[in-house]
Amino acid sequence: MTDKFKFAMYWAGSCGGCEISVLETGTKILDVDANFDVVFWPAAADFKYKDVEAYDDGFIDLCLFNGCVRNSENEYIAKLLRQKSKVLVAFGSCATTGGIPGLANLASAQEIKDLVYRDNPSLDNPDGVYPQEHYAVPEGELDLPHMYDTVKTLAQTVDVDYFMPGCPPESHQIAGVLDVVITALKGEGPLPAKGATIGVAPKTCCDECKRVKEEKKISSFRRIWEFLPDPEKCLLEQGVICMGPATQAGCGARCTSVGMPCRGCYGAPEGVIDQGAKMLSTVASIVDAPTPEEIAEIAASVPDPVGTFYRFGLADSLLRRAKV
Amino acid sequence: MSDQFEPRLIGFLCRWCSYNGADLAGTARLKYPPNMVPIKTNCSGRIDPTHILKAFKEGADGVLIAGCHPGDCHYINGNYRTAGRYPLMEKLLEQMGLEHGRVRLEWVSAAEGEKFQHVVTEFTEQIRALGPLGWGEQFHDESAESEEATKEAVPV
């Protein structure tokens, strides 16, 4: 071990995209190597949980934690890394607001298992075999982590220092954050205030989007595969549900620049408690029809309000999960 | 004290029509159940869906939204916004597992004290029939799950 700063990155309930986005920082990864020793990073280096358990408390200077807390293993590691880390960052949408896995909060763990192992029409499982948490084999007992009913964010599990949203966080934002952290660790600059959302820009995604925005009045909703959107005009004004107005800026509006509506991965802008509620309000407010009945009918034609407005934020929303 | 379930209701009332309708019901000494806590808003269009979700989260069993009749809005079209948000909100709440009918939209003018009385009475009985919502209670088991996590930590 050298006297470099110690770096850890962990994936809990996540897809691995956050790891890729760190590698996507290009030559910035050399700065990481120049300033940090990797002491735990399952995707990139061969360390075991017992190695982390053996570290002194606060041994890790910077820990980027991506993924939601979905099961007992995620929760155990979240608590372990909190104990061992000086700076713990909820990295990416899943750790920050639950992300796509947070949509599992529309069902219970049992409902999900029933669908996956019993009810899915393409299954071939005549004996109704379900995965068991404990299974005895001649060599001993095998264990699987316990899957929770409710997907939790990192901050609902442990104390978090910073939040960095995005699915995944944009590489230029990661590079910027790494610069700030390295400067601060060297004692040459301040760290942001605890609890801050970092790697984002003020205002909303619309502010970064280059499309031309005029008065928003729509008479029907369209999906992106139903027509070829005008390349210059605001997507929302063309009837596509674009989460831009209710989403924190910072990504550079990359999706809308290639004709895809914003899906809201950067989370709620500053001051907004519930991203989905704000977007619902926006969408319903721009419906234009002569009578309240017609307005109501058009607004109600949004097929999946929770999946659309809370695509990345259900686990961190006011209601957090469906009642089952 | 009876054992009857007393619903906790929140009523968001627009100040120009429905709140005055409630006042009229009061000055006319009309009787209706005391279950609803009225909250005066400038316009039914000011009622953010966040307010409704927060009411449920913090223990409300039902939420009433009342505003001016279409065409009567003090701000011309605020209640048209409400008209659009309400069905979408209903759909969202249904996905979240709330029974249909826990949120209700009514147009009540400043002259309709009797309608206000009727709406609150009916809504109270409607929610009484649905029973308590108890939104916070479904998270009570979580701490038990967490203890299990510590016990079942997976050594690798």
Closest CA to B128 of B35, B7, B3: B7
Q: Least CA distance to A134: which residue of chain B?
A: B152
pTM of the model: 0.92
Predicted confidence band of residue B155 (pLDDT cuts 50, 70, 90):
very low
Which ipTM did the prediction report?
Answer: 0.91
Q: CB–CB of A277 and B49 under 8 A?
A: yes
Query: In chain B, whose CA is at the least distance from the CA of A150?
Result: B142
Residues A134-139, mean pLDDT to the nearest whole number: 94
- In angstroms, what separates the C-alpha of A265 from chain B's closest C-alpha? 19
> Is B42 part of a structural domain of the chain?
yes
Query: Which residues of A fall within a CB distance of 8 Å from B95?
Result: 106, 304-306, 322
CA nearest B45: which of B8, B10, B17, B3?
B17
Residue A167 · residue A265 · CB < 8 Å: yes
B153 touches chain A (CB under 8 A): yes
User: pLDDT per residue over A85-113, tens digit each?
Assistant: 999 999 999 999 999 999 999 999 999 99
Cα A18 vs. chain centroid, distance in angstroms? 9
Residue A3: pLDDT band (50, 70, 90) is confident
Residues of B in contact with A281 (CB under 8 A): 48-50, 85
Local structure of B3: helix, strand or coil = coil
Rounded to whole angstroms, how far apart are CA atoms A267 and A142?
A: 38
**Residue B154 pLDDT exceeds 60:** no
Asked whether residue A269 carries a pLDDT value surpassing 90, the answer given is: yes
What number is the average pLDDT over the span A251-262?
96
Q: A217 pLDDT band (50/70/90 cuts)?
A: very high
Give yes or no for B156 touching A (CB within 8 A).
Answer: yes
A198 vs A24, A42, A92, A244, A266, CA distance in Å?
A: 18, 24, 11, 19, 11
Report CB contact under 8 Å: B153, A296: no
pLDDT above 60 for A216: yes
Number of domains in chain B: 1
Looking at the complex, does the CB of residue B97 fall below 8 Å from at least one CB of chain A? yes
Asked if residue A200 lies in contact with residue A248, where contact means CB atoms within 8 angstroms, the answer is: yes
Range of the domain at B13: 9-151
Is a pLDDT exceeding 80 seen at residue A257? yes
Domains of chain A: which residue ranges? 5-100+149-185, 110-148, 201-313
Q: Is residue B156 included in any domain, yes or no?
A: no
Gap between the Cα atoms of A101 and A92, Å rounded: 12
Question: Is the pLDDT score of A137 beyond 80?
Answer: yes
> Residue B151's closest chain A neighbor by CA?
A72
List of chain B residues whose C-beta atoms are within 8 Å of the C-beta of residue A75: 146, 149
Average pLDDT, chain B: 90
Q: Which residues of B touch A322 (CB under 8 A)?
A: 95-97
Mean pLDDT over all residues of chain A? 94
Collect all residues with Cβ–Cβ distance below 8 Å to A178 and sequence separation of at least 6. Answer: A25, A28, A31, A32
Q: Residue B3: inside a domain, yes or no?
A: no
Which tokens sit at A269?
A: 């802008």
The answer, yes or no, to whether residue A21 has pLDDT greater than 60, is: yes
- Contact check, Cβ <8 Å, B54/A76: no
Q: What is the per-residue pLDDT across B80-92, written as a single tens digit (0 to 9) for each?
A: 999 999 999 999 9
Q: Which of A276, A281, A306 sits opposite B85 (nearest CB)?
A: A281
Is pLDDT of B130 > 90?
yes
Model pLDDT for residues B4-44, shown as the tens digit of each residue: 899 999 999 999 999 999 999 999 999 999 999 999 999 99
The percentage of chain A sitting over the pLDDT mark of 70, rounded to a whole number, equals 100
- C-beta of residue A98 within 8 angstroms of C-beta of residue A151: yes
- Cα–Cα dist A276/A32, whole Å: 36
B88 touching A, CB under 8 A?
yes
**What does the pLDDT read at residue B149?**
55
Q: Would you call the peptide bond into B70 cis, given omega within 30 degrees of 0 as the criterion?
A: no
The letter for the amino acid at A84 is K
- DSSP H/E element including B7: none
B130 touches A: beta carbon within 8 Å: no
Measured between beta carbons, the chain B residues lying within 8 angstroms of A148 are 142, 145
pLDDT surpasses 70 at A15: yes
* Pairing, β A162-164 against β A147-152: unpaired
Q: Which residues of A touch B148 (CB under 8 A)?
A: 72, 146
* Residue B106 belongs to domain with CATH number: 3.40.50
Report in angstroms the alpha-carbon separations of A218 from A105, A285, A306, B45.
31, 10, 21, 18
Q: Name the minimum distance, in Å, from the CA of B56 to any CA of chain A.
A: 8
Tens-place pLDDT, residues A41-87: 999 999 999 999 999 999 999 999 999 999 999 999 999 999 999 99
Looking at the domain covering A5-100+149-185, what would its CATH class be?
alpha beta
Yes or no, beta carbons of A280 and B89 under 8 Å apart: yes
pLDDT digits (tens, 9 = 90+) for A165-206: 999 999 999 999 999 999 999 999 999 999 999 999 999 999
The predicted structure's pLDDT at residue A190: 93
Residues 6+ apart with CB under 8 A from B59: B8, B135, B136
Task: Please tell me if residue B2 touches chain A, with a CB cutoff of 8 Å.
Answer: no
Average pLDDT, stretch A112-118? 95
Q: A with B: how many residue pairs have Cβ under 8 Å apart?
A: 128
Strands (E), B6-155: 9-14, 36-41, 62-67, 103-107
Comparing CB atoms, the residue among A292, A296, A323 nearest residue B138 is A323
- What's the confidence (pLDDT) of residue B135? 87
Instruction: Compute the average pLDDT of residues B97-108.
Output: 96
Q: In the predicted model, what is the mean pLDDT of residues A17-40?
A: 92
List the single residue in B54, B138, B154 with the smallest CB-CB distance to A143. Answer: B154
Q: Is B1 within 8 Å of chain A by CB?
A: no
SS3 of chain A: CCCCEEEEEEECECCCHHHHHHHCCCCHHHHHHHHEEEEECCCCCCCCHHHHHHCCCCCEEEEEEECEEEEHHHHHHHHHHHHHEEEEEEECHHHHHCCHHHHHHHCCHHHHHHHHHHHCCCCCCCCCCCCCCEEEECCEEEECCCEEEEEECCCCCCCCCEEECCCCCCHHHHHHHHHHHHHHHCCCCCCCCCCCECCCEEEEHHHHCCCECCCCCECCCCCCCCCCCCCCECCHHHCCCCCHHHCEECCCCHHHHCCCCCCCCCCCCCCCCCHHHHHHHHHHHCECCCCHHHHHHHHCCCCCHHHHHCCCCHHHCCCCCCCC
Nearest residue to B105 via CA among B60, B62, B74:
B62
pLDDT at res. B156: 43
Contacting residues of A for B83, CB less than 8 Å apart: 292-293, 295-296
pLDDT tops 60 at residue B143 = no
